[in-house]
Chains A and B, each alone.
Chain A
Amino acid sequence: MGFFELAILEAALLGALSGIVGTIVVLRRRAFFTVALTHATFPGGVIAALLGLNILLGAAVFSIVLVGIMLVISRVDRQGSQVASGVVLTFGFALGALLQSLNRDMSVQVDTFLIGNILTVSPGDIAVTAGVLVLAVLCVLFAGKQLLFSSFDPQGYRLAGFRPVAIDLVVLGLIAATVVVSMPAVGSILAIALIAGPAVSARLIMRRIEWMIPLAVLFGLVSGVGGLWVSRVFSVAAGGGIALTACAIVMLAVAYDRVRQYRAERSANGGREA
């Protein structure tokens, strides 16, 4: 397979994975958490590159450390989860920038971490992405009901005798894994577009929750593969192309939602006048 076929495969896998995990992120309102985590993988990648390890490994280890720090800070009174995300996010970026500035002659350039490069993705990266995708599908198949219940009614979930900690850990793990595997392809900053975009569009278009994930996966696929095509045609950064395509789909979904609301209001008014 040539490098462009590999890139298409990776984009498709990532799109599907982001559709599934993104839906969970949107429903559970963990968008800022996810953004913080994506930024925090930056220093992990730099450290791994300095030590000569796989970038994925560095990002994974560092994201586990930072999730721990965030959990601690969010439990301190007068701090809360927003402050926790803010602190961890800026810490990640500052550390990455510092390490990078200390090692000017590093072979890997800074944009590799920040906006990724899907055209240089390795078969190993693709295998890991596929593995995480299988894991996410399994989680939704076997724990989908619990995921939904705990997202919409956390108190009821606890009172019904389930353990919220367990499901929280599953969700955190899935988000972190997705963020880590998407870093080589779309980078730390743009990953959130692929994660949040398709899910937001699906939510705007579909009222029924069981259709949200399939639709988000479809949008994810379109954003990934279509974005890659856009970047090739207009010769712009691939990560940027993918993120912009995801955002364009959101715009279309917003427009569709507006038109639908407008029609509904008009028909309601017409009914009253008649």
Chain B
Amino acid sequence: MWTATILSPSHPSTDSPVDLGFFFDPFSVPFMARALTTVLVLAVASGIVGVFINLRNLEFISDGLVHAVFPGLVVGFVASGTDGLLPGALVAGVLAALLLTVASRRGVGSDAAIAVVLAGSFSIGIVIVSRETNYVSQLEQLLFGGVLTVTPSQLTQIIIVGVVAVVLVVITWRRQLFLALDPVGSRAAGYRSLPTEIVLNCAIALLVVAGSQALGNLLVLALLVVPVAIARLLVRRLMLLAPLAIISAALAGWLGLVTSFHASISYGITASPGSLIVIILITLYAVALLGHLLVERIRTARRAVPHTCFEHTGQHPVLDLDQDVSARRRWSARFRRAV
């Protein structure tokens, strides 16, 4: 895809013992710089929104939104090419956010309902795209995206949509936190949970729309879910979750782009940059997980008191913050004062 001629003339090799140019030079090429900007924007936005996905266990709903945006992408793409992607996806995303909010509130068997919405909307997309002539390559483009082919106008769209998603969450920040940490208290304080839930689900849908154009429909979910999961392994402080998530996503995005660039230039290997980014992100997660398990083991060995009373049952994954009663009281008090 790349030829070496794009690079070589403007970059004399540096004299420093560690060649940092390896990590920074690729981004002097315009399309690489755009790819990096896209990934960084997405990292910041999904780090902030992702905190609430994690705290409220919305991973499955997010997956549902990801799949539900797909028919919108297809219809938009079939109607008017790459320009149609954003409008189509926006309509489908907002519709799906409303539908899934209602479906998930229906209590009994709600996860099966999400599964049906997810599969149904995805198959609508598949059926439409399968009537196109060269549908395999189109399908691949829609599912796995092309972070390297992001155009300047697409980048602007991604930034706008991402900013709107973040603003939605930041405006309702207190309510979102209150609902996530103390749903009963939030309702008792007179807040209706439905509008708060709809706002959050719309923000997730917007991010999915923004990310779908760059990373592809299926890989966006990784950015929404994995960085915050890494942050939760590393720290207990709530306010550190978003910054750490952003840092890990940005790191993975940057390393993924650099790796795919050099693999292509030096070895002629065409590795899809989007999937490389996700693989690196999950490698970071694996390292954090192993580190976390190691630290826990050392701690329990030092304490030598098994804390069986907080053992997970496996059936109901309990939020750690929920168990920490004092932290919850502190937060509730703070909310009541603030409200």
What is the distance, in angstroms, from B242's C-beta to the closest C-beta of chain A? 16
The answer to whether A131 has its CB under 8 Å from any CB of chain B is no
A78, A95, A236: which has the most chain B beta carbons within 10 Å? A78
A94 and B314: CB pair below 8 A? no
Q: State which residues 281-339 of B face A: CB under 8 Å.
A: 282, 285, 289, 292-293, 312, 314-315, 317-320
Chain A, 75-117, CB within 8 A of any chain B CB? 75-83, 85-87, 89-91, 93-95, 97-98, 100-102, 104, 109-111, 114-115
Question: When the two chains form their complex, are residues A35 and B63 in contact, meaning their CB atoms are under 8 A apart?
Answer: yes
In the complex formed, the residue of B with least CB distance to A241 is B127
Which residues from A are CB-within-8-Å of B278?
Answer: 90-91, 93-94
**Closest CB of chain B to A95's CB: distance in Å?**
7
How far does the alpha carbon of A262 sit from the alpha carbon of B221 in the complex, in Å? 38
CA distance A97 to B293 in the complex (A): 30
Within 8 A of B (CB), among A47-84: 73-83
Known A73-B289, A80-B57, A111-B139; judge A190-B282 contact (CB<8 A). Answer: no
Interface membership of B196, Cβ < 8 A: no
Known contacts: A83-B229, A111-B139. The answer to whether A196 contacts B115 by CB under 8 A is: yes
Tell me if B271 counts as interface (CB < 8 A to partner A): yes
Q: How far, in whole Å, are A192 and B123 apart by their CA atoms in the complex?
A: 11
CB-CB nearest in chain B for A73: B289
Within 8 A of B (CB), among A180-232: 189-190, 192-193, 196-197, 199-200, 203
Q: Which residues in A have their C-beta under 8 angstroms from that of B240?
A: none
Residue A156 at the chain B interface, CB threshold 8 Å: no
Contact present for A76 and B222 (CB under 8 Å)? no
Q: With A111-B136, A154-B315, A239-B123 known to touch, is A87 a contact of B115 (CB < 8 Å)?
A: no
B222 contacts A90, CB within 8 Å?
A: yes
Closest-by-CB residue of B relative to A30 is B111
Residue of B nearest to A82 (CB): B59
Query: Could you tell me the distance in whole angstroms from the C-beta of B123 to the nearest C-beta in chain A?
Result: 4
From B222, which residue of chain A is reached at the shortest CB distance?
A90
- Is A86 in contact with B225, judged by CB distance below 8 angstroms? yes
Complex interface residues of chain A between 135 and 187 (CB less than 8 A to chain B): 154
A269 at the interface (CB under 8 A from B): no
Question: Is B251 located at the chain interface by the 8 A CB criterion?
Answer: no
Asked if B63 and A89 make an inter-chain contact with CB atoms under 8 angstroms apart, the answer reads: yes
Interface residues on B, range: 35 or more
Give the distance in Å from the alpha carbon of A87 to the alpha carbon of B282 in the complex.
7
Question: B160 contacts the other chain (Cβ, under 8 Å)?
Answer: no
| Inter-subunit contact B63/A250 (CB<8 Å) | no
> What interface size band does chain A fall in?
35 or more
Distance A236 CA – B130 CA, assembled complex (angstroms): 6
Residue of B nearest to A193 (CB): B119
B252 CB, min distance to chain A CBs, angstroms: 11
With a CB–CB cut-off of 8 A, which chain A residues contact B314? 74-75
- CB contacts (< 8 Å) of A26 on chain B: these are 109, 112
Select B109's contact among A29, A77, A97, A197, beta carbons within 8 Å: A29
Chain A residue contacts of B130, Cβ below 8 A: 115, 236-237, 240
Give chain B residues whose Cβ lies under 8 Å from the Cβ of A87.
225-226, 229, 282, 285
Q: Cβ of B112: which chain A residues have Cβ within 8 Å of it? A: 25-26, 29, 31, 196, 199-200, 203
Given contacts A193-B120, A200-B113, contact A90 B219 (CB under 8 A): yes
Cα–Cα distance between A98 and B279 once the two chains are bound (Å): 9
Q: Which residues of A contact B225 (CB under 8 A)?
A: 83, 86-87, 90
Q: Please name all residues of chain B whose beta carbon is closer than 8 Å to the beta carbon of A200 when the two chains form the complex.
A: 109, 112-113, 115-116
Does B165 make an interface contact (CB < 8 A)? no
Please name the residue on chain A nearest to B234 by beta carbon: A78
B204 within 8 A of A: no
B residues less than 8 Å from A189 (CB atoms): 67, 119, 122, 126
**Chain A residues with Cβ under 8 A from B139's Cβ?**
110-111, 114
Q: Is the CB of B317 within 8 A of A74?
A: yes
**In the complex, what residues of B have CB within 8 A of residue A97's CB?**
143-144, 216, 218-219, 272, 274-275
Query: Distance (Å) between the CB of B32 and the closest chain A CB?
Result: 17
* B122-141 interface code vs A (CB 8 A; 1 in, 0 out): 11101100110001100110
A34 to B63, CA, bound (A): 13
Q: Which of B115, B144, B285 has the most CB of A within 10 A?
A: B115
B residues in contact (CB < 8 Å) with A: 54, 57, 59-60, 62-63, 67, 109, 111-116, 118-120, 122-124, 126-127, 130-131, 135-136, 139-140, 143-144, 216, 218-219, 221-222, 225-226, 229, 232-233, 236, 269-272, 274-276, 278-279, 282, 285, 289, 292-293, 312, 314-315, 317-320
26 pairs across A/B with beta carbons < 8 Å? A26-B109, A32-B111, A75-B314, A78-B320, A79-B317, A86-B229, A87-B226, A89-B221, A90-B282, A91-B282, A94-B279, A101-B144, A104-B270, A110-B136, A115-B130, A193-B120, A196-B115, A196-B116, A197-B119, A200-B112, A200-B113, A203-B112, A235-B131, A237-B126, A241-B127, A244-B120
5 cross-chain pairs, A with B, having the tightest CB-CB distances, nearest first = A80-B317, A193-B119, A247-B120, A101-B272, A94-B278
B-contacting residues of A (Cβ < 8 Å)? 25-26, 29, 31-32, 34-35, 73-83, 85-87, 89-91, 93-95, 97-98, 100-102, 104, 109-111, 114-115, 154, 189-190, 192-193, 196-197, 199-200, 203, 235-237, 239-241, 243-244, 246-247, 250
16 further A-B pairs in the complex, CB-CB below 8 A; given A83-B54, A247-B116: A26-B109, A26-B112, A76-B233, A76-B293, A79-B229, A82-B60, A83-B59, A87-B226, A90-B282, A93-B278, A101-B275, A110-B139, A190-B119, A203-B112, A235-B131, A240-B130
